[in-house]
Every structure is written in C-alpha cells, then in structure tokens.
C-alpha cells in the first residue's frame, strides 16, 4: 500500500515539474502576458506578423510545423513527409524506402 502511494506521489510530482504534461491553457497562459508586455514595449499588437509575415500568427503559438517546414528550401530541412492516419503500414514502409530513409525514423503526431 505504501509503495503504491509513493509511486503515485512520484508520478504526480513528475507530471507537475515537466511542462509536457500540463494542460494547454497552463502552457500558453504565460505567453499571453508576455505577448501583451512585448506589444506594449513595441507599441504594436501585430508586431509578430511583421517579423514572420509568411507564418500564420507570425510564429507566436499553435503553428502547423509541416506548413512552416514547407516554406523552407528542401536543402535546409530534413527529409520528411506527411502521412494520414488511415495510411496502412505497408504504404508507410514503401514511402520510407522510396525516400531513401533508414531506421530509426521519427514519427510525430500532428
């Protein structure tokens, strides 16, 4: 019983100190205050758009990484491709072979 309690306590502590486990609002709430602070300093609420005009919201938050990567020339980005969720494993393996990729391959959810 005590061992199980300590495990749960350690698990909760791990989740508390690692922001990857936090809810989205807790992660982005400080960004809002920071955005307002920088907006006041620059006297513009749209200054992010001026810095990164090709990226929606100027790169502040919640950007589509695949879209941003497509803006870069091919020679500056890693080999990558977008796979839809309904794609079969065999098709993914064929795409990997066709693109000359070797294992390990990194898969990231969208």
* pLDDT one-digit tens code per residue, 39-48: 888 888 777 7
Query: Which phi and psi (to 5°) does residue 106 adopt?
Result: -95, 125
CA count, 13 A, side-chain hemisphere, 47: 11
Task: Indicate if the pLDDT at residue 110 is higher than 70.
Answer: no
Say how far apart CA 59 and CA 18 lie, in whole Å. Answer: 23
81-109 pLDDT tens trace: 888 888 898 998 998 899 888 888 887 76
- Note whether 60 and 48 are within 8 A (CB): yes
Say how far apart CA 40 and CA 43 lie, in whole Å. Answer: 5
Threshold 0.75, pTM exceeds = no
Mean pLDDT of the chain: 84
């Amino acid at each position: 019983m005590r061992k199980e309690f300590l495990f749960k306590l350690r698990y909760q502590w791990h989740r508390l100190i690692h922001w990857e486990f936090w809810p989205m609002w807790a992660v982005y709430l400080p960004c809002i205050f920071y955005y307002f602070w920088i907006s006041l300093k620059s006297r513009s609420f749209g200054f992010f758009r001026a810095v990164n005009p090709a990226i929606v919201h100027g790169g502040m938050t919640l950007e589509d990484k695949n879209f941003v990567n497509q803006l870069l020339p091919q020679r500056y980005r890693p080999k990558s491709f977008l796979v839809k969720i309904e794609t079969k494993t065999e098709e993914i393996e064929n795409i990997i072979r066709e693109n000359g990729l070797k294992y390990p391959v990194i898969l990231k959810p969208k």
